[in-house]
Structure 1
């Protein structure tokens, strides 16, 4: 919670005594009246507060005649506190005067009240979706921020009224958190808390109701009835009223042992993935006994503490920070049964340091979240990340961090998940603000350095101990340099260590001019150069050029492109570099290098290789990635007819892989996704704008069907920036179209509409009619999912007209099909059949089997609605066969769930259940969120029809939560309809009535007939 751009990081607390902090140090906010002014400004953060309102807040009706001057004086005092380095004549960046009043600028997360409100909203949204686990966690997180009453100790009419309002607000959140606990079956654990709360707040009937439920579920029926009688007596004595309807209903339910009071079944949750992202342990790890013991303390945190546990391992480059941390993490893996997370932030990479936003996407994916479940915004990602870690015993390693800002969003919020951060810098903000324990890693002690050489070289160290000690000193006792030197010694077994030490001393003298400071990491250039000089010319050139690669690692094919060699030659060169320990294997045929060696190689490349050679090497590398990505995506999506997925500039390169097999194509894209993202970013910064645009276009379908939405936003965002920078308005329009599509997939429909509208306008300006029609088609799809059916039809009809004029029969066929979908939903079955038949005829003529399959599926939907089940079954089955031939798993899921509907209508309930479960599994694999919701609702309907009412209701509840999350209103209505039917079957007519009303209201708002028979 910091204010960036101010002298230090500020945070404010008002939920309790008013407190102001800068970098972990509490500030004196001044005299009482000045503190009241600050409190009022914080309660209206980022909004103007008129001077008169401040005067009323401080003095009420007893304001002195010089109140205006006093307010001005207090404002000036606050500026001195908050901005101590600001000169009096400079404008304030925090507390400004405007015509409307004083405005205190407080960014998101810097005020505890804002954080509590955000957590409360998250908890209530989860409660509405019946995600009780998330609701309980979020609401409890909000409650933890209350340290007492609002601005305790300060007085004033405005603060008094706001204090009462927020206290009522807090109690409401507390009641909702207990409700979530009860829904999770935690009745025994809340009885004592509720007994205390009903004593403190005896007139709050909701607390008494919760206490009755908790006691009854704890098999304390008599005490539950006694609680009711106590509440009734208190209400009569204090207010002269009887208990409300809910308490009276609960008394009857307890007396009759109503089954609705039974404890809920354990909530089914998403399977928890146990990640293990640790790099391989380093061989022959030596020394660091004291530091390992310090790290061992992280495995036994104070059980009474709720503070996060953070250790900062800092030290000079090459000193072994990563090696120590990873070695220790492997040693204590058993202490963290829920997994170990690792991410290299590449903080000192001049080309591509990893942002916190990118790191969060990586970590959330490792924790098991699918692409569409990873939030778009960095703050939301951080909150979801901490929620995923809550309740787990897991280790987090954040390697090579450059700044506290890069690390803060990645810090766990629980003491059971310690974080180890490695950095070249001391990162004082991390220590002061977050209480990180600092572990400063110095050079290896002479004894440990000698022991490491002994392990790596062997008896030669015993034979020449003095020469070994000199070698260690020449290596500045840096583990990285010691390992390189040991490799050289092993490669020259007939040379004495004395001779090697003398040779290294000569090399140091030759490079003295490079030693600009006392940093030992710069002094080991002699060791690096010693290893480098032993390389053949091709290997040396490869080492230099690999430093130009913008990504985190590389394979022989990328190396071949970079060095203008063949993959066979590149593999041999990489093996040579790996034997010299100048690069390290990271997986089968994949390599990376230490950042210090990378910097050394880049320095050599800048000195030895001409700018033209370096430019040619990168151009060849980017050609390789673009050409291979085009091949891979064409193999994966050969059933697609979207010509825009084929880049204009996709040269044939010798290094490109054939990738004729879909599994191999997908494996290559998955392995190279981080590199492809890095290439997009690098090409934008270095003037290769066309590569960013074309690579994003090429990867669009892969990123979509793979559910890689976080990467999609990054890549298409780079493409948009590149197109804007180069003045490529058509490229800008396509980038906006793809960004809009990603937003649509993630359920951010308003953002999607904005992007598609901007794309349509740009395409109109550039005259790209087909691009315009495509954007209109996607815009129509968003409107269709939002339930804006007339708008959707209008967009699709415009697209049909354009596609027809340009002769694009593919686009015309799809637009007809989408029109048919909309008017089918509206109940116009004959017109829908006409649209789908026209689409099918076009697809038949074009030989587009994928399009044929979709058209057949939609024809089957209409025929099912018309009770023509035999025809519908045949069409869905034909579609499924075609989708399997083309390898379209999205289409298979779509056809399977609609086959399940037909089976259900014909009374074949088990077949229906099987089809819907297959569809559900496939849609989850491909991140097809809309189909996942449809499959859940279909599964619920089939289960209910086969008298599995409880499980049916659970499936509809799951569908409702997911439909709400993506904004799919029709499926929300359908889920409510299913839940109502399940409650009706179970005899709970009140719940059935409530859900029926919800469904009816949604159908009426959409202007469509109820799902009725087909989905009943």
Structure 2
């Protein structure tokens, strides 16, 4: 998650401490609060808003007109964060449920020039502002009245980069306070302290959620704690955490520059001038220092940029990025603005989901750059507009180096434009001596310079040719005799001649490697890829290829290393190699590319086998499944290492395969997109699959639609996923590919399941299973059984679910599908958990976690932490549940999995509820509900409605409790979840009991008992019995109460429910006390206190203390 972009954010801070009406008291602390918060917003260490984007209105300046104009202007210009703080007097019109805010001109009688909260809300409505993060802070009396309407929904379930936050200082009927002598209001003082002090060893950033938690923990005033109402994602950063720890390793450098570039010859003066300019620029202000390194081809601009970056590591070492804009690449077109931003964001996001649209990516890029002290190199720029579009924002502490063949003086300014010219005599002589391994006399050096020019690249190649002892003059004479073009002495011709001369010295193996490298689609390659292109099939031949590539780097200066085992051509030499290969061996290039595609596909298939255990897909028509042998990796770690380092090459090769209409291009794209999705990088997969969808072949289109359906599923866009899988199903059916059709049907079902359309989903899964069974496809059957098991589990049909999961596990085991088997084991754990067999559930989960950790499957790990949290919660281990949910939330946040985050927030809400921190619990539940609603997830909405009802009942807000429990009941009924319905009846029974309507409470408890008995869930019917026992006790029917409570207690004992036992013993102690049996009451209450403590409910245990004191003899 990234900090706001100050250049695209705005704040208005209003402190109304002076009023024209003497009847309205004035408090200087109100104005001081607004002023201090404005200082924090402008502080570059925290947020760094420019002064023109941070408006403060205090005292007499805070007129109604000025406030309205300032808020409207800020809302209009804010694209990232819009923050509005209001401090002043609040006036509640209870009959109309209105909140009015005072301005400097407000009057009480007659009521004039007050600003209605509803009017303020309209000014910052999502329809009136482009801001993604809207934060409204109301620091006034009765500010809680604003929560009745709140702010408008502001959420993006896919990217999770939007939020609306309403912070209120008080409840709807409470006054705001300022301590005697206080510098700030109570609320503002706590807010300021939370931001100033930060969180020791906490995350790098502070979000509204973390600030509120800090504020609530430190709240010492004897009044209600401020409240936070949110929609969207309240964990988005708002300020830097001054005492935070880095959340990313400081050595993380996507597109990392070479830390120790080769020593430059003859560039000391230019290097020092660039460093001096950067130092002077950085000392002036916090803006990007932009330098242009310009010159003709072969002058070493890129090498110089790398050297500058290495020299700046100490001062700008958080991250270093290099992106080749491909301005003059003969194989690849120049990158567009959109492609540059996509690649930059892709690399920086790592495994996080990033925005799918261009404006969103650009915003994300700018925000990330604000977090880092960085060096950014735009290499080979041919269009300044592309560079300018992608420039880091004002406020970013970074250096931008742009290399180009064009004149950059107008773009960067004369002082920042550095011409990289040819070497002087001394530098040229030194370079020739270094590369030829001998000192050349001045005459020879002069002749070579006259013939080849002063380009370091060309001279290095010439030096490598002379290494064998050839006389320079004879070398020049031979070239002049054999090349008519030589007389032009044009730098381009000289560079090509030097290249051709060096190639003539190659042995047969070196030439073969050079031709293959020349035909490779780029942007870089490994020895294994070149080996496959040349027809090599053994490990020995691959080792020989690597030695040749290293020789071409170190001895001939034609290639450069771009990683531990990867290489790329220097500048123009790739084009020369391709031209020469085509002239010497016409037609062989296409055959080389086909061998490359087959080799990469074999490695992708081998990598998938390492992760899934599956050998080859079964049952598909041979015409659509022609694939090469499977490469064997040593283990999953080796497969992952190859996939990570080969990502750019794989994508370029897949694009080239599609352009050349290679028969198996769709398979190459399919396997590569599988990896990208497995590695939680759906955006990269989407780009490949979109290209595949443009194919004229129906089979290719079918694979593209299916792949895009998987992308949408991972992005939680279930409606789009349903459409994509539907298209895939149609095309596979037209092709006669029954397995493809069945897989697409499972995808449709998963999309329907995601939107809680369980009946329709089950029909899709049943039909898919029939199709797979007819084809004898065990993998497909297992997938369908596992999907059907999930539906059965959701409907509380645990026996059916367990049988289906076991069938799936057996099938996965037969075909050695590790991931499928692990997922089935997770399902069996879920069944065991809901049967209260917590030990068995944990065993399944721990076994799954071991596999997911071995494969570095972060999504699987997140799901398993969530399941372990649920298991710990249901077994009353609330501290453990909190730890597990926190791990799940952290992983899901990094993956951009909004649904997973919502599940974790819900779990954290239940833990906060057990700690009786109801404000934090409600905050977590509402955050989760916002995501569930945006995703159309009915199950999640039902669970959070139930939880919000429970919190409201515990707070004594019975009207809200009944409304939420009823909403939950209706939602559970909509997708046929009987246990959810039963629990909703329990909640409604508890609410009716608290209201004193004992007849209604008894009816609802009996509804719950009947449903839980029918479903076979002991914990549920025990809860119903406890409710019936409490109802009987309140009626004075102690015998009936004892019977129900005793039965409930025994059931709780059988299922290990400590909290339930505590509640039963507490209620029975009240019955004993009413009977005059004080000794028995004391014994039962002591047991209740002990059970509370064992369950981790310390506050409830402490609440037993006063009664224990009274009962002690």
CA deviation after TM superposition for structure 1 residue 594, in Å: 0.6
Instruction: Give, in whole Å, the separation in 2 of the partners of 1:874 and 1:442.
Output: 72
Secondary structure at the residue paired with 2:625?
A: coil
Matched, 1:741 2:721: no
- The answer to whether the 8 A contact 2:604-2:672 is kept is yes
Pairing of 1:321-400 with structure 2 (within 5 A): 321-353=301-333, 355-356=335-336, 357-367=338-348, 369-390=349-370, 392-400=372-380
Distance change (3 Å), C-alpha of 1:321 and 1:851: closer
- Does the alignment pair 1:619 with 2:594? yes
1:811 corresponding residue in structure 2: 780
Once residues 272 and 717 of structure 2 are traced to their aligned partners in structure 1, the CA distance between those partners, rounded to angstroms, is 47
CA–CA distance in 2 between the matches of 1:919 and 1:548? 46
Q: Is the 8 A contact 2:282 2:289 kept in 1?
A: no
Contact 1:973 1:1003 in 2 (8 A): yes
Give a deviation string over 1:255-301, Cα, whole Å, max 9, x none: 47766973156425593565441124231332362475256424444
State yes or no: 1:536 paired with 2:464: no
Asked if 1:634 is matched to 2:593, the reply is no
Q: 1:403 to 1:787 in 2, by over 3 A?
A: farther
- Distance in 2 of aligned mates of 1:140 and 1:211: 9
Matched, 1:443 2:443: no
Aligned ranges 1:146-157 → 2 under 5 Å: none
Aligned residue pairs total: 819
Does residue 485 of structure 2 align to residue 500 of structure 1? no
SS at the partner of 1:811? helix
Are 2:666 and 1:693 aligned? yes
What SS does the corresponding residue of 2:381 show, helix, strand or coil? Answer: coil
Counterpart for residue 1052 of structure 2: none
Of 239, 250, 253, which residue of structure 1 is paired with 2:112? 239
1:874 is aligned to 840
Are the counterparts in 2 of residues 696 and 715 from structure 1 also a CA contact under 8 Å? Answer: yes
Partner secondary structure for residue 881 of structure 1:
helix
Corresponding residue for residue 486 of structure 1: 463
Q: Distance in 2 between matches of 1:528 and 1:347?
A: 21
Q: Do the aligned residues in 1 keep the contact of 2:326 with 2:332 (CA within 8 Å)? A: yes
Specify the SS of the correspondent of 2:177: helix
1:915-930 correspondence runs (5 A): 915-917=884-886, 919-920=888-889, 930=899
**Alignment deviations for residues 634-678 of structure 1 (CA, whole Å, 9 cap, x no partner):** 1122169965999833324xxx85303111111111111211111
Pairwise CA distance, 1:809: 4.5
Alignment partner, residue 253 of structure 1: 176
Structure 2: distance between partners of 1:552 and 1:420: 21
Residues in 1 aligned to 2:969 and 2:46: alpha-carbon distance in whole angstroms? 32
Change (3 A) 1:770 1:371: same
Task: Give 1:549 shift.
Answer: 0.7
1:903 CA drift (Å): 2.0
Q: Bigger radius of gyration, 1 or 2?
A: 2
How far apart, CA to CA, are the structure 2 residues paired with 1:248 and 1:141? 22
- SS of residue paired to 1:585: strand
8 Å contact 1:706–1:927 — kept in the other structure? Answer: no
State the match for 2:446 in structure 1: 469
Q: Is the 8 A contact 1:525 1:600 kept in 2?
A: yes
Structure 1 CA distance, aligned partners of 2:475 and 2:849? 68
Give the 3 Å change call, closer, same or farther, for CA 814–601 of structure 1 in structure 2: closer
Q: CA–CA distance in 2 between the matches of 1:388 and 1:445?
A: 41
Q: Which residue of the partner structure matches residue 660 of structure 1?
A: 634
- 8 Å CA contact 1:856, 1:875 repeated in 2: no
Distance 1:685 1:191 in 2: 51
1:242–1:371 Cα change, 3 Å: closer
Q: Find the counterpart in structure 2 of residue 520 from structure 1.
A: 491
Moved more, 571-580 or 886-895: 886-895
Q: Please state if 1:648 is matched with 2:625.
A: yes
Helix, strand or coil for the counterpart of 1:193?
A: strand
CA-based RMSD of the aligned residues comes to 4.8
SS of the aligned residue for 1:660 comes to coil
Q: Distance in 1 between matches of 2:660 and 2:700?
A: 18
Whole-angstrom CA distance in 1 between matches of 2:47 and 2:967: 29
Tell me how far apart the structure 1 counterparts of residues 83 and 604 of structure 2 sit (CA, whole Å): 58
Alignment of structure 1 residues 860-939 onto 2, 5 Å: 860-861=829-830, 864-865=833-834, 868-870=835-837, 873-878=839-844, 880-881=846-847, 884=850, 889=857, 890-891=859-860, 893-917=862-886, 919-920=888-889, 930-939=899-908
Give the drift of 1:733: 0.7
Pair 682,133 (structure 1): closer, same or farther in 2 beyond 3 Å: closer
**Cα offsets for 1:67-113 (capped at 9, x unmatched):** xxxxxxxxxxxxxxxxxxxxxxxxxxxxxxxxxxxxxxxxxxxxxxx
- Judging changes above 3 Å, is the alpha-carbon distance between structure 1 residues 137 and 902 closer, same or farther for their aligned structure 2 residues? farther
Q: Calculate the TM-score normalised by the size of structure 2.
A: 0.64
Q: For the residues of structure 1 that align with 2:274 and 2:483, how far apart are their CA atoms?
A: 38
Go from structure 1 to structure 2 and tell me whether the alpha carbon gap of 1:298 and 1:834 turns closer, same or farther (over 3 Å shift): same
Question: Which digits, 9 at most, give the CA deviation of each residue in 1:300-329, with x for residues without a partner?
Answer: 448888986544433221111111211122
Q: Is the 8 A contact 2:341 2:365 kept in 1?
A: yes
Tell me what 1:93 maps to: none
Counterpart of 2:520 in 1: which secondary structure?
coil
| Residue in structure 1 matched with residue 796 of structure 2 by the alignment | 829
Runs of 5+ consecutive residues of structure 1 not aligned to the other structure: 1-130, 144-173, 217-226
Match of 1:606 among 560, 572, 582: 582
Match of 2:731 among 762, 770, 774: 762
Name the CA distance, whole Å, in 2 between partners of 1:374 and 1:897. 23
- Secondary structure (helix, strand or coil) at the match of 2:401 reads strand
Counterparts in 2 of 1:170-249, with a 5 A limit? 193-195=56-58, 198-199=61-62, 201=64, 204=67, 231=104, 233=106, 239=112, 247-249=140-142
Gapped regions of structure 2 (runs ≥ 5): 14-33, 72-81, 90-99, 119-137, 144-173, 180-184, 199-205, 208-236, 238-245, 987-1018, 1021-1058, 1060-1113
Task: Please say if residues 561 and 620 of structure 1, whose CA atoms lie closer than 8 Å, have aligned partners that are also in contact.
Answer: yes
Cα deviation for residue 478 of structure 1 reads: 0.1
Q: Does 2:567 match 1:595? A: no
